[in-house]
Every structure is written in structure tokens, then in C-alpha cells.
Amino acid sequence: MTSAASNSNQANIIEIRDLVAHYGSRQVLNSVNLDVREGEIMVIMGGSGSGKSTLLRHVLALEHMTSGTVRVLGVDLGTATTAHLADLRKKIGVAFQGGALFSSINVERNVMLPLYELTDLDPMQMRIMARMKLQVVGLAGFEQLMPSELSGGMIKRAAFARAIAMDPRILFCDEPSAGLDPAVASAIDDLILGLRDAMNMTIVVVTHELDSAFKIADRITVLDQGDVLFSGTPEQLRNHTDERIQNLLNRRPQDDTIDPDDYLRRLTGTGDNPSMVL
Amino acid sequence: MTSVFERSPTIRFLERIGRGVARGLEEIGMSAGFLVESLYWLLFGHGQRQPVRPASIFQQMMDVGIRAVPIIGVLAATIGVMLAIQGIYTLRTFGAESRVTIGIALSMTREFAPLITGILVAGRSGSALAARLGTMKINQEIDALRVMGINPVRFLIAPALLGCVVMVPTLTFFSDVVGLWAAGVFVGMDLGMSMVSYAEELGRILTPDDVIHGLGKSAIFGMLIALIGVVNGTLVTGGAEGVGRCTTRAVVQSIAAIVVTDMVFVFVTTR
Ligand SMILES: Nc1ncnc2c1ncn2[C@@H]1O[C@H](COP(=O)(O)OP(=O)(O)OP(=O)(O)O)[C@@H](O)[C@H]1O
Ligand SMILES: [Mg+2]
């Protein structure tokens, strides 16, 4: 029954079966099936609001699913005890979409916090580990800043550093490079590849950036309004004939040319009376 | 179609009441849950290798207690003097103003010090607690704690709860001292009673029971303030505006809870 039964080097480290999720009465995920294999980089793509973050929250056991099963590292999240969950969570790292840095402590302490709370390292070791991770994401020298003093991109990188603080077996990143300048974004991509190669880390990345997705992904899953539209290798995705997928691939935000007339129409043409906005 | 679902105003009114009661009960249930879970972590956290950190308890005690000392001191002194003025004025009608000390001593220790301290801490720390937890919730900081395997109740709530339960009585004791001293100064000036004989009279009048009555109440006030702050903080939805709403709600609810609890406490223990 447990993952040990199917212990090849391609063992599924995450198994999602028929996952249905609601926010209130609105169904956000419709029977999602997804496997993530040990040591691979799985990229999840899809339009805004398609349910990527929601899927991630379910894999992290932050929400109660309506139905279905989710197994992470052999632990069934639906039936796991608190102790099992706590144990599991030491093996995963998460960089949230908005960073979710602790606003009352500085950057270095943010990265140190998991080490401080979950390990027996002495303070100097923790500090060295934290500084190493910050160095890796290019935040050396910013250790003492408070989260409110960081730019958006710096927050993302600090969150990434915190996510890898414990050298997790699985790393989840919700849009790690959105809003970063191209050089840093590409450095994050290299970092993700490096973590997989050097530590055999399994990494799940949510991203909108097509170039980045094709650069790092071993496999890609495309979500659309709560459905898995596609799951497979980047090569298969490129050659896929489904129109919705081709739309997604060709709709590169960076290459969008804006038609001035259309733009003006979009700005002025909503149904509401603009004088009543407030 | 609509007429089938049209409800009379009475039904709607009852529905509103029902929903309010259900929500109230749910929040009381949540508070009880947080209380039990906090106690669990305080008692057994070490065994689970998830201790409640003395440093964060200390931090909470500083915030709730030490930083409130100046304002509590001012308020207690003012109330002490006010009690002396009113007491002397009232008793003068019987020519009994020399007996004012008994009124001051009992009202201050049994009622005014716990009440004023509770209300002040509710406004200062209960609201801050709700705002802090609410902001952490909408910034996903609570989620971040959870996915790290750090229990938010142990990490955030237990220290705040302990901080309040310890510091509100401590502050109440401080108000007792300051309030009685300030009243004594006024009585001395007005009636020419020396500070020494005022203190001696206090010693004769006040029993440990009176002081413990006040301190016991304020420990309960501290618990209420913390739990109400926590529940409102964790119920925050929808951005900065939601934080503001819940903060206000936390203060209003804590003050109401303090006053009602005080009444019940007095009713049960003082007849
Ligand atoms: N806390 C919530 N309460 C209610 N509905 C929510 C909540 N969070 C998300 N939703 C809804 O669930 C749907 C999926 O949201 P989700 O955040 O998973 O999208 P996403 O794919 O991550 O989008 P983005 O790329 O913009 O981050 C959206 O329609 C959103 O409105
Ligand atoms: Mg998202």
C-alpha cells in the first residue's frame, strides 16, 4: 500500500487522485489527477485563476478537499495524523506566491526560523546556513533588512531561501520568478535545476513564464479552470495539437502587441457607470 | 418563484438572531479549543520537541505588561484620587469623612483596579493581538508556519495567552498600589490624615481575600482578552479592511466580556 511497494527510481513522490476542491460553493478543482516522480521538476502552468495555487494548497494540506486522495511521500493527507503531517512537513519547503515572510523579523531570521524551531543546530551554525541560502539567491548583505524594506523581487528570493533552508526533499514554488528581472529570473531557474541535480530534490514549480517552464521542466501540467488539460514532457506539449494548449503557448505576455484603439475601448467600455466607482 | 422564498420580516429577524447565536457559540467553541490547545503546548510541548519558547513569552509579557505600566499608573492614580474625592464628599453628609479609607480600599482592590486594568489591556493588547494574527493570516504567514511544521497555536497563541494571564493580574496589583497611594496622598491633604495612619488603616481593613478577589478576576480578564483577540484575528478575511473590522470587534467584545464576567464574579463571590 505504501510507496515502498512501488519503489523504483521513478517512484511517485506525490500522487493526486480525483481531487475535487471547493471554495464555498464554487468548485475550483474538478477531479484532478497528477503524479510527481522523485527527482523531477514538475511545472504547473495555466491561466490566472485556473486553480494552480489551490492545487498547491491541497498538496500542502492547507485546505480540506471535497473528495479524492492526495499522497505525499507515501502519507495520505486525508487520513494523516497531526504527528505524521508535522513529520512530513519537515521534508518539504514552500515559497508562497506572495512570499509570506514573517514581517516582524528580519530576512536572516526568517530563513533561520525553520532551523531554529525544528533542528538542534547551535545559533552560529543556523546563521551560517541561513547566510549560505541567502547568498545562493543573491541576497548576501541584505540579512538585516526587514521584509517591509524589501522590493517585490527580493521578497520572492528571500522566500525561496527560506523554502530551501531545511534542504527539503520536495520544494514547492508558487511563481518564483514572476516580477523578477530577467537575469535574476534566469538565476532562479539555474538554482532550481541545480537543486534537482545536486540534491535530487523533487521540485514543483508554478509559473506563467513559458521560457522558464521549457528551460527547467522535466514534465509540465497545464491546468485550465480546474481541469488538467495536459500532462507530459515539454516536447509533447510543444507538439500538442489541442487548440487551447496552442493558445496558451502562443499567448506570450511579453510579446503582446497592444492595439491602441482596442486598448482605449477596453479602458472605457465596461458596463458600470464610471462615476459610481467609489 | 420569488414569492415562495419571500420571508416575513419576523422570520428574517429570527433568522438573523439565530445566525448570530450560532456564530457566537462557534466562537466560544473556538476559544475553548485555543485554550485547551495552548495549555497542551505549554505543558507537553517540550516532550514533543515543540516547546513554547520562554523568549516569546517574555516578549509578550513586555508588550502586554511592562509597556503598559506608565499609562496604567496614571489611570490608577487618577481613579484613586477620584475615589477619595467622591468618598469624602459622600461621607461628609454624615460627618463620617474620616472613615473614607474603607471605601477607597475595598473599591480599589476589589473593583476599580481589575476593571480599569482589564479595559486598558483589552484596548492596547487585545486589539494588537487581533491585528497581528489577522495580518499574519492574510499575508499567508500562518500558512507558512503550518507548512514548516511549526504549530501556530504553540508558536503564536500560547505565549500571548500566558502573557495576558500573568500580566493582567500583575498590572492590577500595580494599580492597587498606585491607586491606594494616590488616594492616600489626597486624603492626607484634605483631611490631614498622615500617610502612616492611612497605611495602618489600610492594613486593618484589607484582607488578603480582597486583593485575591481582584487578582483572580483579572487573571480571568487576561484570559478573555487573549482568547477574544485570537479568535477575531484568526477570523479575519479580506485584506486590511477586514483586519480593521476584527480589531474593533475584538476590543468591543473583550470589554463587554470583562464587564459581564466581573458582574457574574461579584454576584457569585460577594453575597
Ligand atoms: N481564499 C479563497 N476564497 C475563495 N475563492 C478563492 C480563494 N482563493 C482562490 N479562490 C478562487 O479559486 C480560483 C483559483 O484560484 P487560484 O489562486 O488557485 O488561481 P491561480 O491559478 O493560482 O491563479 P494565479 O495565477 O493568478 O495565481 C479562483 O477563481 C479564485 O477566485
Ligand atoms: Mg496563484
- Domain boundaries in chain B? 54-269
Query: Is B144 in Cβ contact with A87 (below 8 Å)?
Result: no
Q: In this complex, is the C-beta atom of B237 within 8 Å of any C-beta atom belonging to chain A?
A: no
Q: For a pLDDT cut of 90, what percent of chain A falls above it? A: 51
pLDDT at A255: 44
Distance, in Å, from the CA atom of A65 to the CA atom of A62, rounded to the nearest integer, reads 9
Does the structure show a pLDDT above 70 at A195?
yes
Look at residue A179 and tell me whether its pLDDT is greater than 80: no
Nearest to B148 among A57, A89, A103 (CB): A89
Q: How far is A73 from chain B (nearest CA, A)?
A: 15
Say if pTM beats, i.e. exceeds, 0.90. no
Q: Is the pLDDT of residue A209 over 90?
A: no
Dist CA B228 CA B245 (whole Å): 14
B135 close contact with A: CB closer than 8 A = yes
> Which residues make beta-bridge pairs with A206?
A44, A174
Query: Which residues have their alpha-adjacent CB atom under 5 A from ion ligand 2?
Result: A 53, 97
The reply to whether residue B150 touches residue A90, judged by beta carbons under 8 angstroms, is no
Instruction: Indicate the SS3 state at residue A164.
Output: coil
Q: What is the CATH number of the domain that holds A250?
A: 3.40.50.300
Quote the number of domains for chain A: 1
Kindly identify which residue of chain A lies nearest to residue B139, measuring between CA atoms: A100
Distance, CA A54 to ligand 1 centroid (Å)? 6
pLDDT higher for B265 or A9?
B265
Does ligand 1 come within 6 angstroms of the Cβ of A221? no
Classify residue A54 as exposed, middle or buried by CB count within 10 Å of its CB (0-12, 13-18, 19+): buried
Domain range for A101: 4-277
Residue nearest to atom 17 of ligand 1 (CA): A53
Instruction: State how far the Cα of B229 lies from the Cα of A260, in Å rounded to an integer.
Output: 51
CB atoms A62 and B150 under 8 Å: no
CA of A69 to the centre of ligand 2 (A): 21
Query: Residue A114: CB within 6 Å of ligand 1?
Result: no
Q: Which amino acid is at B258?
A: I
List chain B pLDDT tens, one digit each, 271 residues.
445 567 788 888 998 999 999 989 999 999 999 999 999 999 998 887 788 889 999 999 999 999 999 999 999 999 999 999 999 999 999 888 888 999 999 999 999 999 999 999 999 999 999 999 999 999 999 999 999 989 999 999 999 999 999 999 999 999 999 999 999 999 999 998 899 999 999 999 999 999 999 999 999 999 999 999 999 999 999 888 999 999 999 999 999 999 999 999 999 988 7
Angle in degrees, CA A180, A260, A244, rounded to 5: 60
pLDDT at A275: 61
**Ligand 1 centre and the CA of A50: distance in Å?**
7
CA of A263 to the centre of ligand 2 (A): 26
* Adjacency order of strands within the sheet including A219-224: A92-95, A170-174, A202-206, A41-46, A219-224, A227-232
Contacts of B135 in chain A (CB under 8 A): 103
Strand order in the sheet with A75-76: A26-37, A12-23, A67-72, A75-76
Interval A122-139 mean pLDDT: 91
> Does the pLDDT of residue A220 top 70, yes or no?
yes
Is residue A232's pLDDT more than 70? Answer: yes
Question: To the nearest whole angstrom, how far is the Cα of A110 from the nearest Cα of chain B?
Answer: 11
